[in-house]
């Protein structure tokens, strides 16, 4: 079942005791997280206790004691036999104390090891360092996705939300009245309010083509955008092509390792290949578009789209998660919010709310 950007698998087993021995343990051994076990019969010999001690919640359709009561009620079992069953169960408890590494607590939450400030000192890409420092100084992990098609409206909204964001994400090719003047004005606002500009271009071609797309034509993002992004699909040539002009200009590249839309194909082996590709270019690839933390590399900034204050969807495949889920539980670094802000009656006030929620979730995720 696909729910909340995670695949869930339900495994049914016969009894609690064997679920622990033959199911929960082996699944954990291969890196899967076992949270709940559904069984047909709890024989009440300690299996449920063993699971709970390891942070796994058992769910039994029936218990031996319930079965006995039902059989007695319908005169299929005598009280004498029920007494013998009860004695047997009491004298044959199998409680296996968990090893230290097996112990889990339901309230255990994943924690991030380093603050934004600490990570800024470990980055090999200058833009990544700058972004993490801005996030720490302004106390914001909010990126505003400005999917606005009119440059006057675009500049007005960015002016309003600028104090609350660490990054502005544009789709510059959707502007109906684009000229390089708007790019210059966005650059001036970025300097005024101290935020990064991220052009969400989603390059997906061979190296030679993206060289031209990045630095030629009417948009020329290399001249004004601190960051662009790309699909890893074409292979490392796309990174090499963008780096040709972006590297000397001190820019950064974000790879799209995962997406927030339902049914997308950026999963599994594709995501793993994206991680490997990114780690081969630590001086240029500075982050991922992803739904969660994918690597412990301090120089990789995880940016998660599809965020609203309340979970839900838009009827077109987009799935929204909350700042709390994205930052405190999935340990992403930065939330990307678009319609939740620019469709609000007061974008400035709404941005302030997202900023507060995002920062609170970040602080909650820290180890100290």
Write out the binding residues for substrate. Answer: 147, 169, 260, 318, 338-339
The residues near 222 (Cβ < 8 Å, ≥ 6 apart) are: 214, 215, 228, 245, 246, 249, 251
| Residue 200 falls in the annotated catalytic set | yes
Closest Cα to residue 297, out of 51, 119, 158, 71?
A: 119
Given 63, 124, 126, 205, which residue is catalytic? 205
Given 42, 133, 138, 200, which residue is catalytic? 200
Helical spans, DSSP H, in the chain:
16-19, 25-29, 47-53, 64-73, 79-91, 116-120, 126-138, 151-161, 180-193, 207-215, 237-246, 268-279, 323, 339-342, 347-365
Given 202, 216, 276, 364, which residue is catalytic? 202
How is residue 310 written in tokens?
């309340």
Annotated binding site: 147, 169, 260, 318, 338-339
Closest Cα to residue 35, out of 108, 96, 91, 98?
A: 108
| Residue 69 falls in the annotated catalytic set | no
DSSP 263: T
| Residue 205 falls in the annotated catalytic set | yes
How is residue 130 written in tokens?
């700058």
Strand duo 301-304 + 285-289: pairing: parallel
**Do 132 and 159 contact (CB within 8 A), yes or no?**
no
Burial zone of 230 (CB within 10 Å; 0-12 exposed, 13-18 middle, 19+ buried): buried
Strand duo 312-313 + 285-289: pairing: unpaired
**Do 229 and 254 contact (CB within 8 A), yes or no?**
yes
For residue 300, give the 3-state DSSP assignment: coil
Catalytic residues: 200, 202, 205
């Amino acid at each position: 079942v696909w729910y909340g950007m995670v695949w869930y698998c339900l495994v049914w087993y016969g009894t609690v005791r064997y679920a622990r021995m033959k199911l929960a343990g082996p699944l954990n051994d291969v890196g899967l997280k076992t949270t709940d076990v559904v069984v047909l019969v709890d024989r009440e010999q300690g299996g449920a206790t063993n699971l709970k001690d390891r942070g796994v919640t058992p769910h039994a359709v029936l218990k031996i004691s319930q079965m006995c009561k039902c059989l007695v009620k319908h005169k299929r079992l005598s009280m004498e036999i029920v007494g013998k069953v009860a004695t047997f169960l009491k004298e044959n408890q199998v409680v296996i104390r968990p090893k230290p590494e097996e112990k889990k607590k339901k309230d255990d939450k994943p924690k991030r090891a380093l603050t934004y400030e600490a990570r800024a000192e470990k980055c090999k890409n200058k833009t990544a360092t700058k972004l993490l420092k801005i996030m720490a100084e302004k106390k914001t992990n909010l990126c505003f996705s400005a999917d606005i098609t009119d440059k006057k409206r675009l500049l007005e909204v960015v002016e309003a939300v600028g104090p609350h964001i660490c990054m502005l994400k544009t789709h510059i090719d959707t502007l109906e009245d684009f000229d390089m003047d708007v790019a210059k004005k966005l650059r001036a606002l970025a300097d005024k309010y101290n935020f990064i500009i991220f052009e969400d271009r989603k390059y997906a071609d061979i190296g030679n083509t993206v060289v031209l797309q990045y630095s030629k034509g009417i948009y020329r993002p290399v001249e004004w955008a601190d960051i662009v992004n790309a699909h890893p699909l074409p292979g490392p040539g796309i990174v090499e092509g963008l780096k040709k002009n972006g590297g000397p200009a001190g820019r950064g590249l974000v790879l799209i390792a995962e997406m927030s839309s339902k049914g997308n194909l950026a999963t599994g082996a594709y995501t793993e290949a994206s991680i490997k590709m990114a780690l081969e270019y630590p001086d240029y690839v500075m982050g991922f578009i992803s739904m969660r933390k994918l690597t412990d590399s301090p120089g990789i900034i995880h940016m998660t789209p599809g965020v609203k204050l309340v979970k839900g969807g838009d009827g077109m495949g987009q799935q929204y998660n909350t700042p709390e889920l994205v930052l405190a539980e999935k340990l992403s670094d930065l939330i990307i919010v678009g319609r939740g802000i620019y469709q609000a009656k007061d974008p400035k006030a709404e941005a302030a709310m997202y900023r507060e929620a995002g920062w609170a979730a970040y602080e909650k995720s820290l180890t100290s």
